């Protein structure tokens, strides 16, 4: 199964040489203009932080018809990627149970024949080029977009070990300003990354801290929309607390950013090696509980009359999957890994659902 991101190659190789694609570009239909946090877009279909490594990736997927494009999460200092492997397939064709935190997932050694049924695990560690590299590249990415397309830049703080929380909050704010200066139209704070081995992965569960980060991001972003990327919530009360804390500062949330689990070989050994026992699960296996979280957030925003929108992500590889989220009230739907295997998805969705 061909893929634009070569999982047997390093992150740096894919950064320099990708996306890999030999087929004809899809014919993208014209669609009515929609609103996305005050910005005009051709569709409310996009790609979240992850697949779009640089301006070359942004350009390719913009030409393929995706209209909301997220530049992969960047930092205020260089951070290398974890060693290979970074991406493996998981041996299951049903949903991961979000309540069984200790359930290990088993690696699938063969390549699945049908990308719409794939569950994967990733372990990259949120790598980042230095600002002197990514800021001019963001400017190139912005110039690559056509009319009705929007560039989101995702950022994450990199506090020194043992530093006060205030340093992390300040770093988020400074990054928002840097992203704005570089050309972002929307700035996203990545508060949840299930494929790191540090506390960066669960900031979103702290409502007070999330609110403080949203405030710093708002100051740094100026009048740009601010989004917060959140992970899976195991209880609805925490969702409500976080939404209340960020209301008035953030413009919306992106959810759900995968789920953390152990991934093992047949002999029980960790797939990614020592120190990387826990990694992010994405794809088919997370669709239902991601949808449940999105429904809860949309309902809470309506009930509490909060000024927030929800951007949905999690296990979307078919039009039916996207419809689940749109019908739940999502402002937009992001496709995380499926476009890696089928870049024509946005064009096909738009042809069938021009209202999206």
Q: What is the pLDDT of residues 91-127, one digit of tens each?
A: 988 899 888 888 999 999 888 889 999 999 999 999 9
Q: Is the pLDDT at 196 greater than 90, yes or no?
A: no
Beta pairing partners, 152 = 70, 186
List, for residues 219-269, the tens digit of each pLDDT value: 999 999 999 999 999 999 999 999 999 999 999 999 999 888 999 999 999
Please give the C-alpha separations between residue 305 and each of 132, 206, 244, 308, in angstroms, as whole numbers.
41, 21, 10, 9
Q: Is the pLDDT at 195 greater than 50, yes or no?
A: no
Q: Rounded to an integer, what distance in angstroms lies between the CA atom of residue 5 and that of residue 11? A: 9
Nearest to 73 by CA among 232, 196, 211, 164: 196
Range of lowest pLDDT (64-73, 199-208, 308-317): 199-208
- Is 162 exposed, middle or buried, given 0-12, 13-18 or 19+ CB atoms closer than 10 A? exposed
pLDDT band at 198, cuts 50/70/90?
Answer: very low
Nearby residues of 206 by Cβ (< 8 Å), 6 or more positions away: none
Mean pLDDT computed over every residue of the chain:
95
Phi, psi at 53, each rounded to 5°: -75, -30
Whole-number pLDDT of residue 1: 66
DSSP string covering 264-328, please?
Answer: E-TTS-BSS-TT--EEEEEEGGGHHHHHHHHHHHHHHHHHHT-S-EEEEESS--SHHHHHHHHHT
pLDDT band at 199, cuts 50/70/90?
Answer: very low
Nearest to 143 by CA among 56, 48, 235: 56
Looking at the chain, the whole-number percentage of residues with pLDDT higher than 90 is 90
pTM for the whole structure: 0.96
Q: Is the pLDDT at 325 greater than 80, yes or no?
A: yes
Please provide the CATH number assigned to the domain covering 35-352.
3.20.20.70
Q: Where are the domains of the chain?
A: 35-352
Whole-number pLDDT of residue 237: 96
Element at 313 (helix H, strand E) = strand 309-313
- Residue 220: how many CA atoms within 13 Å on its side-chain side? 28
pLDDT band at 201, cuts 50/70/90?
Answer: low
> Which phi-psi region, left, alpha or beta, contains residue 217 (left: φ > 0; alpha: ψ -120 to 50)?
alpha
Nearest to 188 by CA among 159, 213, 212, 167: 213
Q: In this structure, are residues 226 and 189 in contact, taking their beta carbons and an 8 Å threshold?
A: yes
3-state secondary structure of 233: coil
Nearest to 345 by CA among 66, 106, 8, 128: 66
- Maximum Cα–Cα distance across the chain: 53
């Amino acid at each position: 199964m061909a893929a634009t991101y070569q999982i047997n190659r390093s992150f740096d190789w894919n950064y320099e040489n990708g996306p890999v694609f030999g087929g004809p570009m899809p014919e993208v239909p014209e669609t009515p203009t929609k609103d996305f946090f005050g910005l005009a877009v051709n569709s409310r279909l996009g790609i979240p932080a992850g697949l779009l490594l640089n301006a070359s990736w942004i350009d390719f997927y913009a030409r393929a018809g995706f209209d909301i494009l997220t530049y992969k999460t960047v930092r205020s200092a260089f951070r290398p990627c974890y060693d290979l492997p970074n991406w493996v397939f998981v041996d299951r064709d049903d949903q991961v149970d979000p309540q069984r935190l200790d359930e290990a997932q088993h690696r699938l050694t063969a390549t699945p024949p049908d990308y719409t049924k794939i569950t994967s695990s990733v372990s990259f560690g949120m790598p980042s080029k230095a600002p002197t590299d990514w800021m001019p590249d963001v400017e190139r990415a912005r110039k690559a977009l056509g009319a009705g397309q929007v560039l989101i830049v995702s950022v994450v703080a990199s506090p020194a070990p043992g530093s006060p929380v205030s340093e992390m909050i300040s770093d988020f704010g400074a990054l928002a300003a840097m992203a704005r200066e570089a050309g972002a139209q929307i700035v996203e704070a990545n508060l949840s990354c299930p494929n790191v081995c540090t506390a960066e992965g669960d900031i979103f569960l702290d409502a007070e801290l999330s609110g403080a980060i949203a405030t710093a991001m708002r100051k740094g972003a100026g009048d740009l929309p601010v989004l917060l990327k959140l992970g899976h919530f195991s209880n609805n009360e925490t969702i409500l607390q976080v939404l209340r804390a960020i209301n008035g500062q953030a413009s919306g949330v992106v959810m759900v950013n995968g789920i953390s689990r152990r991934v093992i070989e047949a002999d029980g050994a960790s797939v990614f090696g020592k120190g990387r026992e826990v990694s992010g699960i994405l794809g088919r296996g997370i669709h239902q509980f991601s949808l449940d979280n999105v429904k809860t957030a949309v309902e809470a925003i309506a009930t509490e009359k909060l000024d927030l929108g929800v951007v949905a992500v999690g296990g979307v590889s078919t039009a039916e999957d996207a419809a689940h989220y749109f019908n739940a009230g999502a402002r937009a739907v992001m496709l995380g890994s499926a476009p890696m295997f089928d870049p024509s998805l946005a064009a096909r969705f738009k042809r069938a659902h021009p209202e999206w």
